[in-house]
Amino acid sequence: MQIELKKSGHKFQNRLRTSRIYKTDDIGSFKDRLLSWAQQFEDVLWLDSNNYPRDYSSFDCLLAVDAFTSIKTDFYNGFEDLKEYQTTTGDWIFGYLTYDLKNDIEDLHSSNTDELDFPDLYFFQPKKIIRIQGDEICFDYLNMVDDELEPDFMEISATDTSPDETGEEAQPVKIKLRIHKDEYHSKLEKMLKHIHRGDIYEANFCQEFYAENTRIDPLKIYGKLNRISEPPFATFLKMGSRFLISASPERYLRKEGRKVISQPIKGTAKRSENREEDESLRQKLKQDPKERAENIMIVDLVRNDLSRLAKKGSVKVEELCEVYTFKQVHQMISTVIAEADDEAGAVDLIKATFPMGSMTGAPKIAAMKIIEELETTKRGLYSGAVGYFSPEGDFDFNVIIRSILYDDIKQYASFSVGSAITAKSVPEKEYEECLIKAKAMREVLEAN
């Protein structure tokens, strides 16, 4: 079935790009066709808000494909390399920052197991950007390929999204745990000793679930994960044979002009199909002293990070310990805002706050050292960030959680989950929280 689209607006010109705007009455079908069409390219980044009602949003969804230029590097001097690339390009760039860029900021290292080996930093300048806001679709192409704009529009409109019945039959995915329950408890007891001794107040401890010798259809898995989660920061990233399939509910950092926004999540509760019980679970999370304490600790850490490059007195907590409801879980979220100092560049702001407090702990450096000692898997892309910079130097990045990482050549799939450990943590309950967070990823992989 083809979609009837109406051409609207006119052709705009700037230094680098040509834009045209279209409208449709069936945006859901167009989104499916658009993402299917994008799979022909080696470099793909798809960001989808799933129409989640939230502040600080620039679009409903955004697609960037077909790299014109790119940067791919390890952590050494990573932020300076990114800064040079971002300022020199002067255009939209899309990509990710792995957790291990911490090693570029502090005297830290990462030597744990890494079966996926994503580059530490990757960004690309796409030839083709397609944005959707409401019923409007904006095609934003580099001038060198603007003659492909109209043909691409027609091709997307005719793209067949029906399942491929001739493909190989999906094989069951056998998921393994990198840390088993008894070992998890033992490691948490060591973490608690550090806390009781006063080395740290809080740390985010993570564990990996993985599947070897497995083949999945990344786009199909993304579709399933997105449907059962509908998060505000859904992501599909393709980088050659490597994929990120993300149902992240968390924003790391956003810049609008000189305003900077961080929205850390700390505090998770399961959902119930019973309305009264579900509301009871939500209220229990909202009033839980341990969860609130975790959240407030991270808010303080974020405030401290932002203050490094913010105008004096501009760091404010706009929202503290509010509970938001998603399809899989309830989450406690706070919003911290600041006005960036006039001398602070876009990459400077990220470097000053990276890695995000919700995935590290307090004090941050001490927590990261202990995390590295007790975790068995190198985090890599997990608990990093994915997003974009605009030509004006604004940006928006999520936190890479509730995400599946996959390498099609190695046939290796992985997802990690974690929880915040404080003095009041009970290992059994922390383990249960991890299983709640793992539920959606495990479900879509095992149903492959």
Answer whether 415's CB lies under 8 Å from 209's CB.
Answer: yes
Backbone angles phi, psi at 304, to 5 degrees: -65, -45
Partners of residue 221 on adjacent β-strands = none
Q: What is the pLDDT of residue 169?
A: 63
Identify the H or E element spanning 343. Answer: none
The 10 Å CB-count burial string (b at 16+, else e) for 286-317 is: bebeebbbbbebbbebbbebbeebbeeebbee
Residues 6+ apart with CB under 8 A from 365: 106, 108
For residue 400, give both structure tokens. Answer: 């890479």
Q: Which of the residues 250, 291, 339, 372 is marked catalytic?
A: 250
Return the residue matching tokens 């019980």: 277
* Stretch 358-380: mean pLDDT: 96
Reply yes or no on whether the pLDDT at 5 is more than 80.
no
Q: What is the pLDDT of residue 166?
A: 53
| 265 within 8 A of 358, measured Cβ to Cβ | yes
Kindly report the pTM of this predicted structure.
0.94
Report, at the CATH architecture level, how domain 5-161+173-446 is classified: 4-Layer Sandwich (3.60)
For the chain, percent of residues with pLDDT exceeding 70:
95
Q: Active site includes 339? A: no
Residue 250 bears catalytic tag: yes
Most distant CA pair in the chain, distance: 66
Contact 6, 23 (CB under 8 A): yes
Confidence of residue 162 (pLDDT cuts 50, 70, 90): confident
What pLDDT shows up at residue 161? 80
Q: Cβ of 189: how many Cβ atoms within 10 Å?
A: 10
For residue 413, how far is the Cα from the chain centroid? 17
pLDDT for residue 212: 96
More confident residue, 186 or 52: 186
Considering 31, 102, 128, 266, which one is annotated as catalytic? 266
